[in-house]
Amino acid sequence: MDFNLFVGLAAIAVLLVLIGLRVPIGLALGGVSLIGLMMVRSTEAALGIFGDLPFEFGASWSLSAVPMFLLMGSIAYHTGLTSSLFKAARLWLGRLPGGLAVATNFAAAGFAAASGSSLATAAAMGRLAIPEMLKMGYDKALATGVVAASGTLGALIPPSILFVLYGWFTETSIGALLIAGVFPGLLTAGIYAAMIVGRCVYDPSLAPRVTEHVSWGDKFRVLLEIWPIPVLVLGVVGGIYSGTATATEAAALGALFAAIIGLLRGQLTWTAFRTSVVEALESTASIFFVAIGALLLTRLLAFAGVPTIMAESIGSWAIDPIWLIVGISIVYLILGMFLDPLGLMLLTLPVFLPMFEALKLDLVWIGVIVVKYIEIGLLTPPIGLNAYVVKGVVGDAVPLTTIFRGLAWFIAAEAVIMVLLIGFPEISLWLPRQMGS
């Protein structure tokens, strides 16, 4: 075997070992890649790449959307723009079988559209919805499972940090990717809701019916409390869809509008603004640190010839693109049990991207598939991060095994969703094609 190729493959193996040992993924990516580059090139060349890449990455205009979307979500949360979502969903949907769980599901979709973060959505909805459901006598597995699962909508419904990074890494239109996530996100929320209602009709003991009488006046009044969220989201999505704003410009406008709405409502205090900015900066730094490490890995694998070997090998086993999709499905489902979403995506894309390109697969459609699988990884044991977030919210009230038991039904629903998204690409591609992307 060629020495450079051996170094590239060994780097992947060492990375997996280090990540298994819980070494921070950004540090593992950067350290292994730097040593590998020294071996396949030279110390001077490796240090030169190491010196140039962080600036090249950080100076990318399209990546400005990341801190802007993060800032928009932080401002929306700290000024109370998202706090009324569950109340509104409860008043409108509470009388359905499993109504509070259904309300949690759709409220999470609204929160996800404001925050763009799966973990933040699960944490916020856990604090709002789980105590309410448990007080009403809901099954603990259902109450915690719906919060952990619906949190994953944060990666699909715009804005989505994962889509922004995927688009930058694959040189795919970020605007098209964000728009492509709309229907899959709504499909996921819809199938979740149907599954919840079906289970509660079959076994009413899971979710006692809400008997509270709510007047139509109360239902419409609560909508006045949540109007900023749909306005904010429609402004961002509408600006991208209409072509009047790029994804980066829409993100900046979203952060500005969130601040203006907070000011008009008298809830954007200096403390709330400062906290929002600090949180956005910390999250951006963390994301960029991992992304720069992944970029170094990409350079190492390119110099080692790993993508070329893998792309050439496609012809021998992936005659039909569907087999490649099946292959990456297995990889993402397995690795997703152990890795965080950002690290998983940036670790695998350097290896899989040449395969997607060789088979001429639509990278927008592939982006939706990849992000969906990454989000499913947040639900699967032993390290389903969303389950641990919910566990942190409920403390000793609900065992972790109960949360994972509740998630089993949502993972089964995800199997149906993935079959639809893979079998009918137009679910993801129709909207982007309408905007000419």
Interval 88-141: pLDDT, tens: 777 788 778 988 899 889 888 887 777 667 777 787 788 778 888 888 889 999
Q: Looking only at Cα atoms, what is the longest distance across the chain?
A: 74
Predicted local distance difference test score (pLDDT) of residue 427? 95
The answer to whether residue 276 is domain-embedded is: yes
Task: Look at residues 117, 31, 47, 132 and name the one whose alpha carbon lies nearest to residue 82.
Answer: 117
C-alpha distances in angstroms, 343 versus 3, 317, 332? 27, 27, 12
pLDDT tens per residue across span 34-63: 899 999 888 888 888 888 878 877 777 777
Which DSSP state fits 343? Answer: H
The answer to whether residue 14 is domain-embedded is: no
Q: How far apart are CA 279 and CA 276, in angstroms?
A: 5
Q: Where are the alpha helices (DSSP H) in 151-246?
A: 161-170, 174-180, 182-202, 216-226, 228-242
Predicted local distance difference test score (pLDDT) of residue 311? 54
Q: How many domains does one find in the chain?
A: 1
The answer to whether residue 346 is domain-embedded is: yes
**Is the bond leading into 54 cis (omega within 30 degrees of zero)?**
no
The answer to whether residue 105 is domain-embedded is: yes
pLDDT tens per residue across span 375-410: 888 888 766 778 888 888 788 888 888 999 999 999
The answer to whether residue 154 is domain-embedded is: yes
The answer to whether residue 332 is domain-embedded is: yes
Task: Look at residues 313, 296, 396, 397 and name the one whose alpha carbon lies nearest to residue 352.
Answer: 313
Confidence of residue 436 (pLDDT cuts 50, 70, 90): low
pLDDT: which is higher, 291 or 41: 41
The answer to whether residue 261 is domain-embedded is: yes
Q: What is the mean pLDDT of the chain?
A: 83
Owning domain of residue 94: 62-284+304-434
The answer to whether residue 278 is domain-embedded is: yes
